[in-house]
Amino acid sequence: MSSEIVPPVGADPAPPRRSPWSARLRLVTEFALLFALALLLKHVLLAVASGPYPNPFWLPVLVLSLQHGMAAGLAAAVLAAALQLLDGPPPALLTEDLYSYVGRIAAEPIGWTCVALLIGHTRSRQLDHLKELEAELADQSQQAAVVADLCEDLRARTETLERHIAANAYASNVDVAEAITELHDSTWDNFADRLARFVSLMTGAAEFSILMLRDGALEPVFHPADDHRPAAGAVVPSDDPLFAAIVNDRRTLSVACTADQALLGNRGVMAGPLVDQQAPDRVLGMFAIAGAALDDHPEDIERRFSLTASEVSRLVGRIVLMENWQAAAAPGQSNGHAEKPHDAASNGQRAQGDEPQDGKPQDGTPRAAKRKRQRRDREVTLQ
Protein backbone atom coordinates (compact mmCIF):
# COMPACT_ATOMS: atom_id res chain seq x y z
CA MET A 1 0.00 0.00 0.00
CA SER A 2 1.29 3.38 -0.91
CA SER A 3 2.46 5.65 1.88
CA GLU A 4 0.82 8.65 0.27
CA ILE A 5 -2.23 9.85 2.17
CA VAL A 6 -5.27 10.01 -0.08
CA PRO A 7 -8.44 11.63 1.30
CA PRO A 8 -11.66 9.63 0.91
CA VAL A 9 -14.15 10.41 -1.81
CA GLY A 10 -16.18 13.50 -0.94
CA ALA A 11 -13.90 14.53 1.92
CA ASP A 12 -12.11 17.83 2.13
CA PRO A 13 -8.45 17.73 1.09
CA ALA A 14 -5.95 17.43 3.92
CA PRO A 15 -4.49 20.73 5.12
CA PRO A 16 -0.89 21.40 4.09
CA ARG A 17 1.72 20.40 6.64
CA ARG A 18 4.11 22.98 8.03
CA SER A 19 7.78 22.45 7.44
CA PRO A 20 10.05 21.73 10.46
CA TRP A 21 11.88 25.01 9.91
CA SER A 22 8.62 26.94 10.11
CA ALA A 23 7.73 25.29 13.45
CA ARG A 24 11.18 26.03 14.88
CA LEU A 25 11.05 29.64 13.77
CA ARG A 26 7.66 30.01 15.41
CA LEU A 27 9.00 28.54 18.69
CA VAL A 28 12.01 30.87 18.70
CA THR A 29 9.70 33.82 18.05
CA GLU A 30 7.48 32.84 20.97
CA PHE A 31 10.54 32.53 23.24
CA ALA A 32 11.77 35.98 22.25
CA LEU A 33 8.40 37.68 22.69
CA LEU A 34 7.57 36.06 26.04
CA PHE A 35 10.97 36.73 27.60
CA ALA A 36 11.00 40.28 26.25
CA LEU A 37 7.61 40.82 27.90
CA ALA A 38 8.88 39.26 31.11
CA LEU A 39 11.95 41.55 31.18
CA LEU A 40 9.76 44.56 30.50
CA LEU A 41 7.44 43.62 33.37
CA LYS A 42 10.42 43.10 35.67
CA HIS A 43 11.78 46.57 35.00
CA VAL A 44 8.34 48.13 35.42
CA LEU A 45 7.77 46.32 38.71
CA LEU A 46 11.18 47.32 40.01
CA ALA A 47 10.33 50.91 39.30
CA VAL A 48 6.82 51.09 40.74
CA ALA A 49 6.40 48.19 43.19
CA SER A 50 7.35 48.64 46.81
CA GLY A 51 6.43 45.21 48.15
CA PRO A 52 7.01 41.62 47.12
CA TYR A 53 5.71 40.53 43.75
CA PRO A 54 5.84 37.30 41.70
CA ASN A 55 8.77 36.94 39.40
CA PRO A 56 7.77 37.83 35.79
CA PHE A 57 9.84 34.89 34.49
CA TRP A 58 7.06 32.58 35.63
CA LEU A 59 5.07 33.78 32.60
CA PRO A 60 7.23 32.34 29.80
CA VAL A 61 7.91 29.15 31.78
CA LEU A 62 4.21 28.42 32.29
CA VAL A 63 3.08 29.44 28.82
CA LEU A 64 5.80 27.52 26.95
CA SER A 65 5.31 24.42 29.12
CA LEU A 66 1.58 24.44 28.44
CA GLN A 67 2.02 25.16 24.76
CA HIS A 68 4.97 23.01 23.67
CA GLY A 69 5.57 20.45 26.40
CA MET A 70 8.42 19.46 28.68
CA ALA A 71 11.36 20.22 26.41
CA ALA A 72 10.27 23.79 25.75
CA GLY A 73 9.40 24.25 29.46
CA LEU A 74 12.83 23.10 30.64
CA ALA A 75 14.50 25.35 28.09
CA ALA A 76 12.39 28.25 29.32
CA ALA A 77 13.30 27.46 32.96
CA VAL A 78 17.03 27.38 32.16
CA LEU A 79 16.80 30.62 30.18
CA ALA A 80 14.81 32.28 32.96
CA ALA A 81 17.42 31.22 35.52
CA ALA A 82 20.19 32.56 33.28
CA LEU A 83 18.45 35.91 32.89
CA GLN A 84 17.71 36.00 36.61
CA LEU A 85 21.43 35.69 37.39
CA LEU A 86 22.58 37.77 34.43
CA ASP A 87 23.43 40.79 36.60
CA GLY A 88 25.04 38.56 39.20
CA PRO A 89 23.63 36.86 42.28
CA PRO A 90 21.89 39.04 44.84
CA PRO A 91 23.90 39.96 47.94
CA ALA A 92 23.59 37.75 51.01
CA LEU A 93 21.87 39.04 54.12
CA LEU A 94 23.70 39.36 57.41
CA THR A 95 21.45 36.81 59.08
CA GLU A 96 21.80 34.18 56.31
CA ASP A 97 24.25 31.35 56.35
CA LEU A 98 25.54 29.68 53.21
CA TYR A 99 22.72 27.16 52.95
CA SER A 100 20.01 29.75 53.43
CA TYR A 101 21.62 32.01 50.84
CA VAL A 102 21.87 29.21 48.24
CA GLY A 103 18.33 28.13 48.97
CA ARG A 104 16.99 31.66 48.48
CA ILE A 105 18.84 32.10 45.19
CA ALA A 106 17.94 28.63 43.84
CA ALA A 107 14.33 28.57 45.00
CA GLU A 108 12.79 30.16 41.91
CA PRO A 109 14.94 28.31 39.29
CA ILE A 110 14.13 25.04 41.04
CA GLY A 111 10.43 25.97 41.08
CA TRP A 112 10.54 26.83 37.39
CA THR A 113 12.20 23.50 36.66
CA CYS A 114 9.64 21.53 38.69
CA VAL A 115 6.74 23.31 37.03
CA ALA A 116 8.26 22.69 33.61
CA LEU A 117 8.72 19.00 34.44
CA LEU A 118 5.21 18.53 35.82
CA ILE A 119 3.17 20.58 33.36
CA GLY A 120 5.50 19.96 30.42
CA HIS A 121 5.45 16.19 30.87
CA THR A 122 1.63 16.16 30.89
CA ARG A 123 1.51 18.37 27.82
CA SER A 124 4.11 16.25 26.01
CA ARG A 125 2.01 13.14 26.57
CA GLN A 126 -0.99 14.95 25.14
CA LEU A 127 1.00 16.04 22.10
CA ASP A 128 2.31 12.52 21.53
CA HIS A 129 -1.20 11.13 21.79
CA LEU A 130 -2.42 13.77 19.35
CA LYS A 131 0.26 12.77 16.84
CA GLU A 132 -0.75 9.13 17.19
CA LEU A 133 -4.37 10.06 16.55
CA GLU A 134 -3.37 12.09 13.50
CA ALA A 135 -1.34 9.20 12.14
CA GLU A 136 -4.23 6.81 12.80
CA LEU A 137 -6.65 9.22 11.14
CA ALA A 138 -4.38 9.52 8.11
CA ASP A 139 -4.12 5.73 7.85
CA GLN A 140 -7.89 5.31 8.17
CA SER A 141 -8.44 8.04 5.59
CA GLN A 142 -6.16 6.22 3.20
CA GLN A 143 -7.97 2.95 3.81
CA ALA A 144 -11.32 4.69 3.36
CA ALA A 145 -10.13 6.10 0.03
CA VAL A 146 -9.09 2.63 -1.13
CA VAL A 147 -12.43 1.17 -0.02
CA ALA A 148 -14.29 4.00 -1.79
CA ASP A 149 -12.39 3.28 -5.01
CA LEU A 150 -13.17 -0.43 -4.67
CA CYS A 151 -16.85 0.36 -4.08
CA GLU A 152 -16.90 2.59 -7.15
CA ASP A 153 -15.33 -0.15 -9.27
CA LEU A 154 -17.73 -2.71 -7.81
CA ARG A 155 -20.72 -0.50 -8.57
CA ALA A 156 -19.55 -0.02 -12.16
CA ARG A 157 -19.05 -3.78 -12.56
CA THR A 158 -22.47 -4.43 -11.04
CA GLU A 159 -24.14 -2.05 -13.49
CA THR A 160 -22.30 -3.72 -16.37
CA LEU A 161 -23.39 -7.18 -15.21
CA GLU A 162 -26.96 -5.99 -14.78
CA ARG A 163 -26.97 -4.67 -18.33
CA HIS A 164 -25.53 -7.95 -19.61
CA ILE A 165 -28.11 -9.97 -17.67
CA ALA A 166 -30.96 -7.78 -18.91
CA ALA A 167 -29.68 -7.99 -22.50
CA ASN A 168 -29.15 -11.77 -22.37
CA ALA A 169 -32.51 -12.44 -20.73
CA TYR A 170 -33.89 -14.70 -23.45
CA ALA A 171 -37.51 -13.98 -24.30
CA SER A 172 -39.56 -17.16 -24.36
CA ASN A 173 -40.89 -18.55 -27.61
CA VAL A 174 -44.41 -17.85 -26.37
CA ASP A 175 -43.61 -14.14 -25.89
CA VAL A 176 -42.03 -13.87 -29.33
CA ALA A 177 -44.90 -15.74 -31.01
CA GLU A 178 -47.42 -13.58 -29.19
CA ALA A 179 -45.58 -10.40 -30.23
CA ILE A 180 -45.53 -11.52 -33.90
CA THR A 181 -49.22 -12.42 -33.81
CA GLU A 182 -50.15 -9.11 -32.21
CA LEU A 183 -47.98 -7.28 -34.73
CA HIS A 184 -49.73 -8.84 -37.73
CA ASP A 185 -53.16 -8.29 -36.14
CA SER A 186 -52.40 -4.71 -35.15
CA THR A 187 -54.41 -1.69 -36.19
CA TRP A 188 -53.41 1.83 -37.02
CA ASP A 189 -53.59 2.88 -33.38
CA ASN A 190 -51.36 0.18 -31.89
CA PHE A 191 -49.10 -0.82 -34.78
CA ALA A 192 -46.18 1.37 -33.69
CA ASP A 193 -46.29 0.16 -30.07
CA ARG A 194 -46.48 -3.49 -31.07
CA LEU A 195 -43.67 -3.10 -33.58
CA ALA A 196 -41.50 -1.46 -30.89
CA ARG A 197 -42.33 -4.29 -28.45
CA PHE A 198 -41.39 -6.93 -31.03
CA VAL A 199 -38.07 -5.24 -31.82
CA SER A 200 -37.33 -4.83 -28.10
CA LEU A 201 -38.06 -8.53 -27.40
CA MET A 202 -35.86 -9.68 -30.25
CA THR A 203 -32.91 -7.28 -30.03
CA GLY A 204 -33.23 -5.44 -26.71
CA ALA A 205 -33.07 -2.12 -28.60
CA ALA A 206 -35.27 0.74 -27.47
CA GLU A 207 -34.68 2.79 -30.63
CA PHE A 208 -34.77 1.69 -34.24
CA SER A 209 -35.46 3.17 -37.66
CA ILE A 210 -36.74 1.89 -40.99
CA LEU A 211 -35.64 3.47 -44.28
CA MET A 212 -37.09 2.69 -47.73
CA LEU A 213 -35.29 2.73 -51.07
CA ARG A 214 -36.80 5.51 -53.18
CA ASP A 215 -35.46 7.48 -56.11
CA GLY A 216 -31.93 6.19 -55.58
CA ALA A 217 -31.78 7.03 -51.84
CA LEU A 218 -32.76 5.53 -48.51
CA GLU A 219 -35.51 7.68 -47.04
CA PRO A 220 -36.73 7.25 -43.42
CA VAL A 221 -40.34 6.10 -43.13
CA PHE A 222 -40.58 4.93 -39.51
CA HIS A 223 -38.79 6.11 -36.39
CA PRO A 224 -40.59 5.46 -33.06
CA ALA A 225 -38.38 7.85 -31.10
CA ASP A 226 -39.58 10.70 -33.35
CA ASP A 227 -43.34 10.29 -32.95
CA HIS A 228 -43.47 7.71 -35.77
CA ARG A 229 -42.34 10.26 -38.33
CA PRO A 230 -39.18 10.24 -40.45
CA ALA A 231 -36.29 11.97 -38.79
CA ALA A 232 -35.24 15.10 -40.65
CA GLY A 233 -31.86 14.91 -42.28
CA ALA A 234 -31.61 11.11 -42.00
CA VAL A 235 -31.77 10.40 -45.74
CA VAL A 236 -28.93 8.20 -47.02
CA PRO A 237 -28.06 9.32 -50.58
CA SER A 238 -26.76 6.98 -53.22
CA ASP A 239 -23.23 8.38 -53.01
CA ASP A 240 -23.01 7.52 -49.31
CA PRO A 241 -20.80 4.47 -48.56
CA LEU A 242 -23.56 3.24 -46.26
CA PHE A 243 -25.96 3.10 -49.23
CA ALA A 244 -23.51 0.95 -51.20
CA ALA A 245 -22.93 -1.41 -48.28
CA ILE A 246 -26.66 -1.91 -47.63
CA VAL A 247 -28.21 -1.81 -51.10
CA ASN A 248 -25.42 -3.02 -53.38
CA ASP A 249 -23.51 -5.41 -51.11
CA ARG A 250 -26.46 -6.34 -48.84
CA ARG A 251 -24.18 -6.36 -45.78
CA THR A 252 -25.15 -6.33 -42.10
CA LEU A 253 -23.08 -3.63 -40.40
CA SER A 254 -22.11 -3.58 -36.72
CA VAL A 255 -20.10 -1.15 -34.60
CA ALA A 256 -18.21 -4.16 -33.27
CA CYS A 257 -16.31 -4.08 -36.58
CA THR A 258 -13.89 -1.19 -36.89
CA ALA A 259 -14.52 -0.83 -40.63
CA ASP A 260 -18.29 -0.60 -40.08
CA GLN A 261 -18.04 2.12 -37.42
CA ALA A 262 -17.13 4.76 -40.00
CA LEU A 263 -20.03 3.65 -42.23
CA LEU A 264 -22.64 3.73 -39.46
CA GLY A 265 -21.50 6.99 -37.89
CA ASN A 266 -24.27 8.12 -35.55
CA ARG A 267 -27.04 6.16 -37.29
CA GLY A 268 -27.02 3.26 -34.79
CA VAL A 269 -25.11 0.22 -33.58
CA MET A 270 -26.33 -2.20 -36.26
CA ALA A 271 -27.86 -1.83 -39.71
CA GLY A 272 -28.90 -4.29 -42.37
CA PRO A 273 -30.91 -4.53 -45.61
CA LEU A 274 -34.64 -5.23 -45.83
CA VAL A 275 -34.90 -7.84 -48.57
CA ASP A 276 -38.02 -8.66 -50.56
CA GLN A 277 -39.16 -12.13 -49.45
CA GLN A 278 -40.36 -13.02 -52.95
CA ALA A 279 -37.26 -11.66 -54.70
CA PRO A 280 -34.17 -12.10 -52.47
CA ASP A 281 -32.03 -10.07 -54.84
CA ARG A 282 -34.22 -7.00 -54.38
CA VAL A 283 -33.46 -4.62 -51.48
CA LEU A 284 -36.47 -2.68 -50.19
CA GLY A 285 -34.74 -0.57 -47.57
CA MET A 286 -32.65 -0.57 -44.41
CA PHE A 287 -33.34 -1.52 -40.79
CA ALA A 288 -31.15 -0.06 -38.00
CA ILE A 289 -31.15 -0.28 -34.19
CA ALA A 290 -29.67 2.21 -31.72
CA GLY A 291 -30.17 3.55 -28.22
CA ALA A 292 -27.36 1.74 -26.32
CA ALA A 293 -23.88 0.31 -26.71
CA LEU A 294 -23.56 -3.03 -28.45
CA ASP A 295 -22.38 -4.65 -25.20
CA ASP A 296 -25.83 -3.97 -23.70
CA HIS A 297 -27.53 -6.12 -26.34
CA PRO A 298 -27.82 -9.93 -26.28
CA GLU A 299 -24.76 -11.98 -27.10
CA ASP A 300 -26.47 -13.49 -30.17
CA ILE A 301 -27.52 -10.06 -31.40
CA GLU A 302 -26.49 -10.76 -35.00
CA ARG A 303 -28.84 -13.75 -35.29
CA ARG A 304 -31.67 -11.85 -33.56
CA PHE A 305 -31.09 -8.82 -35.77
CA SER A 306 -31.33 -10.94 -38.92
CA LEU A 307 -34.60 -12.54 -37.75
CA THR A 308 -36.03 -9.14 -36.83
CA ALA A 309 -35.05 -7.60 -40.18
CA SER A 310 -36.65 -10.56 -41.98
CA GLU A 311 -39.92 -10.06 -40.10
CA VAL A 312 -39.85 -6.30 -40.65
CA SER A 313 -39.41 -6.93 -44.38
CA ARG A 314 -42.83 -8.61 -44.42
CA LEU A 315 -44.35 -5.46 -42.90
CA VAL A 316 -42.88 -3.00 -45.38
CA GLY A 317 -46.16 -2.65 -47.25
CA ARG A 318 -48.06 -1.69 -44.11
CA ILE A 319 -45.37 0.77 -43.06
CA VAL A 320 -45.42 2.44 -46.49
CA LEU A 321 -49.22 2.65 -46.32
CA MET A 322 -48.96 4.36 -42.94
CA GLU A 323 -46.52 6.88 -44.37
CA ASN A 324 -48.80 7.61 -47.32
CA TRP A 325 -51.74 8.06 -45.00
CA GLN A 326 -49.78 10.50 -42.87
CA ALA A 327 -48.80 12.49 -45.97
CA ALA A 328 -52.39 12.51 -47.20
CA ALA A 329 -53.86 13.29 -43.79
CA ALA A 330 -51.53 16.22 -43.12
CA PRO A 331 -53.68 18.81 -45.02
CA GLY A 332 -56.87 17.44 -43.46
CA GLN A 333 -55.47 17.69 -39.93
CA SER A 334 -55.40 21.47 -40.21
CA ASN A 335 -59.23 21.37 -40.35
CA GLY A 336 -59.40 18.98 -37.42
CA HIS A 337 -60.29 15.95 -39.61
CA ALA A 338 -57.92 13.13 -40.56
CA GLU A 339 -58.60 10.30 -42.98
CA LYS A 340 -58.28 6.65 -42.03
CA PRO A 341 -55.77 4.44 -43.83
CA HIS A 342 -58.44 2.81 -46.00
CA ASP A 343 -59.71 6.26 -46.98
CA ALA A 344 -56.24 7.25 -48.11
CA ALA A 345 -56.01 4.06 -50.15
CA SER A 346 -59.39 4.67 -51.76
CA ASN A 347 -58.38 8.23 -52.59
CA GLY A 348 -55.30 6.79 -54.23
CA GLN A 349 -57.45 4.45 -56.29
CA ARG A 350 -59.68 7.32 -57.38
CA ALA A 351 -56.62 9.31 -58.31
CA GLN A 352 -55.39 6.39 -60.35
CA GLY A 353 -58.72 6.21 -62.19
CA ASP A 354 -58.27 9.73 -63.40
CA GLU A 355 -55.28 8.69 -65.49
CA PRO A 356 -55.66 7.86 -69.21
CA GLN A 357 -56.37 4.28 -70.20
CA ASP A 358 -52.90 3.77 -71.65
CA GLY A 359 -51.42 4.16 -68.15
CA LYS A 360 -49.25 7.11 -69.05
CA PRO A 361 -49.40 10.34 -67.06
CA GLN A 362 -51.04 13.27 -68.75
CA ASP A 363 -48.00 15.51 -68.29
CA GLY A 364 -44.84 15.92 -66.32
CA THR A 365 -46.51 17.81 -63.45
CA PRO A 366 -45.80 16.95 -59.80
CA ARG A 367 -49.31 15.47 -59.57
CA ALA A 368 -48.44 12.86 -62.19
CA ALA A 369 -45.22 11.99 -60.37
CA LYS A 370 -47.16 11.63 -57.12
CA ARG A 371 -49.65 9.31 -58.80
CA LYS A 372 -46.81 7.20 -60.14
CA ARG A 373 -45.24 6.97 -56.69
CA GLN A 374 -48.58 5.96 -55.10
CA ARG A 375 -49.05 3.25 -57.70
CA ARG A 376 -45.58 1.85 -56.98
CA ASP A 377 -46.27 1.84 -53.21
CA ARG A 378 -49.54 -0.02 -53.72
CA GLU A 379 -47.71 -2.65 -55.75
CA VAL A 380 -45.29 -3.13 -52.86
CA THR A 381 -48.25 -3.36 -50.46
CA LEU A 382 -49.91 -6.09 -52.51
CA GLN A 383 -46.69 -8.06 -52.55
Q: How many domains does the chain have?
A: 3
pLDDT of residue 150: 93
Same domain membership, residue 140 and residue 82:
yes
Same domain membership, residue 116 and residue 47:
yes
User: Phi then psi for 153, rounded to 5 degrees?
Assistant: -65, -40
Element (H, E) at 175: helix 173-184
Residue 370 has pLDDT above 70, yes or no: no
pLDDT of residue 162: 73
Domain membership flag for residue 167: no
Same domain membership, residue 356 and residue 301:
no
pLDDT digits over 227-284, tens only?
444 443 478 888 888 888 889 888 888 888 888 888 888 888 889 999 888 887 889 8
Please give the full DSSP string across 310-322, using - where no structure is assigned: HHHHHTHHHHHHH
Query: In which band, very low, low, confident or very high, does the pLDDT at 371 lie, cut at 50, 70 and 90?
Result: low
Q: What's the burial of 329, exposed, middle or buried (CB within 10 Å: 0-12/13-18/19+)?
A: middle
What mean pLDDT comes out for the span 6-32?
67
pLDDT digits over 155-187, tens only?
988 887 776 666 555 556 777 788 888 888 888
pLDDT of residue 49: 63
pLDDT of residue 142: 93
Domain membership flag for residue 59: yes
Percent of the chain with pLDDT over 70: 71
Distance CA 180, CA 199 (A): 10
pLDDT digits over 307-354, tens only?
888 888 888 888 888 777 766 666 554 444 444 444 433 343 333 334
Distance CA 167, CA 303 (A): 14
Q: What contacts 24+ positions apart, CB below 8 Å, involve 299-308? A: 299/167, 299/168, 301/203, 301/204, 301/270, 302/252, 302/254, 302/270, 304/202, 304/203, 305/202, 305/203, 305/252, 305/270, 305/272, 306/252, 306/272, 307/202, 308/198, 308/199, 308/202, 308/203
Q: What is the identity of the amino acid at 324?
A: N
Query: In which band, very low, low, confident or very high, does the pLDDT at 1 lie, cut at 50, 70 and 90?
Result: very low
Range of the domain at 248: 194-313
Query: In which band, very low, low, confident or very high, does the pLDDT at 375 lie, cut at 50, 70 and 90?
Result: low
pLDDT digits over 62-88, tens only?
898 888 888 988 998 888 888 888 777
Same domain membership, residue 259 and residue 150:
no
- For residue 255, give the nearest of 294, 291, 307 by alpha carbon: 294
CATH number at residue 218: 3.30.450.40
Residue 21 has pLDDT above 90, yes or no: no
pLDDT of residue 139: 93
Check: CB of residue 327 under 8 Å from CB of residue 207: no
Query: Considering 144, 161, 178, which residue would you say is the last residue of a domain?
Result: 161
Same domain membership, residue 90 and residue 44:
yes
Residue 99 has pLDDT above 60, yes or no: yes
**Of the candidate ranges 14-23, 25-34, 201-210, the one whose mean pLDDT is the lowest:** 14-23
Same domain membership, residue 135 and residue 115:
yes
Same domain membership, residue 137 and residue 60:
yes
What mean pLDDT comes out for the span 14-35?
77
Average pLDDT of the chain? 75
Distance CA 330, CA 229 (A): 12
Sequence-distant (≥ 6) Cβ neighbours of residue 165 within 8 angstroms: none
pLDDT of residue 334: 44
Q: What is the identity of the amino acid at 278?
A: Q
pLDDT of residue 355: 40
**Of the candidate ranges 37-46, 117-126, 131-140, 337-346, the one whose mean pLDDT is the lowest:** 337-346
Same domain membership, residue 210 and residue 157:
no
Same domain membership, residue 330 and residue 233:
no
Domain membership flag for residue 166: no
pLDDT of residue 321: 80
Domain membership flag for residue 276: yes
Query: In which band, very low, low, confident or very high, does the pLDDT at 133 lie, cut at 50, 70 and 90?
Result: very high
Query: Considering 146, 161, 176, which residue would you say is the last residue of a domain?
Result: 161
Same domain membership, residue 131 and residue 44:
yes
Largest CA distance in the chain: 155
Residue 48 has pLDDT above 70, yes or no: yes
Residue 108 has pLDDT above 90, yes or no: no
**Sign of the CA dihedral running 294, 300, 301, 302:** positive
Check: CB of residue 141 under 8 Å from CB of residue 8: yes
